[in-house]
Structures are given as structure tokens and as C-alpha cells.
Amino acid sequence: MTDKFLFKLSSKSEQYCDMIVEEMERLFSISKQEAIGRVNRKWSGCSFEDESLLFHMLPEEWANEIYYGSNSMWWKKDKQSLIPVPFNEK
């Protein structure tokens, strides 16, 4: 497990990803390492050196999107009925 992002980022994008990780820790009571692992899995092979692609959602929205999955419609449902995307540490 790593504590670094494994995709290309500008310094501003890296700060934004840090905010997403913090939201995931706060919202879902997961470790920082798990949050970073989930972010890395989501954006493996991506580049956010062009920051505009990352900032169209708030960090809390990205946290939910990454934790529950793109097709979960997390914004419409009661959080208790949602199931997180499984995450296996390697």
C-alpha cells in the first residue's frame, strides 16, 4: 500500500486530491492509505496536469463517487442503503 498518488498531477491537483482523501477519511472512517488506494484505483493511468478535468466536482462529491462507485447514484439515495465498492489491500 502506498501513501502517494500514482498518476500525474499538478501541485494544485495534488492538493485537491489530498482534500478528497481527507473527505473520504471523514465521511467513511477509512484510513488514509485506503482512501489513497481508492483514488489511485479510480484514476490509474490518468493525468491531472490539466486541472480543469478534476475541479468540476467538489472534494466531498468525488469522495462519494469513488467510495460508492460511478453508477451508485449516491446523491439520490439514503447513505445507509448504499454499498461501498469493495477494496482489497494488496
**pLDDT digit string (tens) for 60-89?**
999 999 999 988 888 887 777 899 999 986
pLDDT at 29 over 90: yes
Residue 1: pLDDT band with limits 50, 70, 90: low
**pLDDT digit string (tens) for 33-52?**
999 999 999 998 888 877 66
Domain definitions of the chain by residue range: 8-69
Q: What's the start-to-end Cα distance of the chain, in Å? A: 6
Global pTM reads 0.90
Torsion (CA) 56, 6, 12, 16 in degrees, nearest 10: 50
